[in-house]
Amino acid sequence: MTDTQDSLLDQGEDAGRDERVPEPGREHLSVTVALAVGAAASLAGVLVSLYSLAGMSDGLDDTGVVILANSLFSPVIVAVFAGAVGGLAAARLPGPRIGLTVAGFAVVGLVGGVAAYLAFRVDAGIALALALVLFGSTLLGGALTLTRHRLPVAAGLSAAFVLLLMMFARGFIDASQVSLWSDPLDQYGALGAAAPFAAGLICGFLAYVFLRKADAGARLPGYLFAGALPGAIWLMSTIITQVGVEVVLALGVDQISSLDSAFLSLSFQWQYNGSMTVLFGGAVCAVLAYGLLTPKPDKNN
């Protein structure tokens, strides 16, 4: 064999190695485990907190039902996140990807729904409605993981987990809030406008960093999806919560006061504004980071 042939073989082997990319099913196991642990702890925590805040041993009165309705956003957004994480984690198992994904988020939904029903079983109607809301939330969240390309989903969920941590931090600091990041009194102030936008930028940049570190050859649509996913989860959770609140109030309260109605309206207005701001900020930041920070290929080679 000549030197020229040896050189061509070496170049072919190098090119084959360069074209290999990490397989999503084998890489980033630690990230998936961390997301699964965080989702399980968050779901258990919000259910315990919801029962401590609104649960009554002899059944919910009108005040308890209103408190439950005002606090419903927290378990819903965590259930959406947990469903997505369950689907992502189950897809790593050997077997049909779609079937395992559906089974993963369905199991999470059943566990969350049953736990919610048992916690409020004194009021059977409200308990069933709450269980169905949480079960449906996990199904819709899990549907986000049915895409074939799982690394952008993992990147977006990692950023969404950071968003949840920021929500919890703000809720912990501001003890007057009754749900995650939903103080309607500051929605027209500087904090109410700046905080979601800053959170969106952080989420978008984290999604970009995740995909760049993964070095899996993700293209612009993948970065856009990952950056927008935290805001999309928030927006989806707000829609589900609004439906759930209407059902819970219809089952447990004959007539809601004008003050409670105004508070709920302001809260949902804040949630919609915040979710769309995070969605826009995260998507734009991820796309800009992809365009400005990703090294360009050398045209001379």
CA atoms of 141 and 233, how far apart (whole Å): 7
Tokens representing residue 16 in the block: 């084959």
Tokens representing residue 155 in the block: 């990147």
Each residue's pLDDT tens digit, 146-165: 988 888 999 999 999 999 99
Residue 55, C-beta contacts closer than 8 angstroms, at least 6 positions apart: 64, 119, 120
Reported confidence tier of residue 172, pLDDT bands at 50, 70, 90: low
Average of per-residue pLDDT across 168-173: 72
Q: Indicate if the alpha-carbon torsion angle 29, 283, 234, 101 is positive or negative.
A: negative
Reported confidence tier of residue 176, pLDDT bands at 50, 70, 90: very low
CA atoms of 144 and 103, how far apart (whole Å): 14
Closest of 125, 133, 131 to residue 60, by C-alpha: 125
Residue 112, C-beta contacts closer than 8 angstroms, at least 6 positions apart: 43, 47, 75, 79, 82, 134, 135, 138
Tokens representing residue 78 in the block: 């965590």
Q: Indicate if the alpha-carbon torsion angle 231, 236, 238, 241 is positive or negative.
A: negative
Global model pTM greater than 0.85:
no
b/e string for 239-268 if b means 16 or more Cβ within 10 A?
ebbbebbebbbebbbeebeeebeebbebbb
Each residue's pLDDT tens digit, 226-260: 999 999 999 999 999 999 999 999 988 878 888 88
Tokens representing residue 259 in the block: 């003050």
For 27-41, 85-99, 167-181, 265-279, which range has the lowest pLDDT when averaged over its residues? 167-181
User: By three-state DSSP, how is residue 58 classified?
Assistant: coil
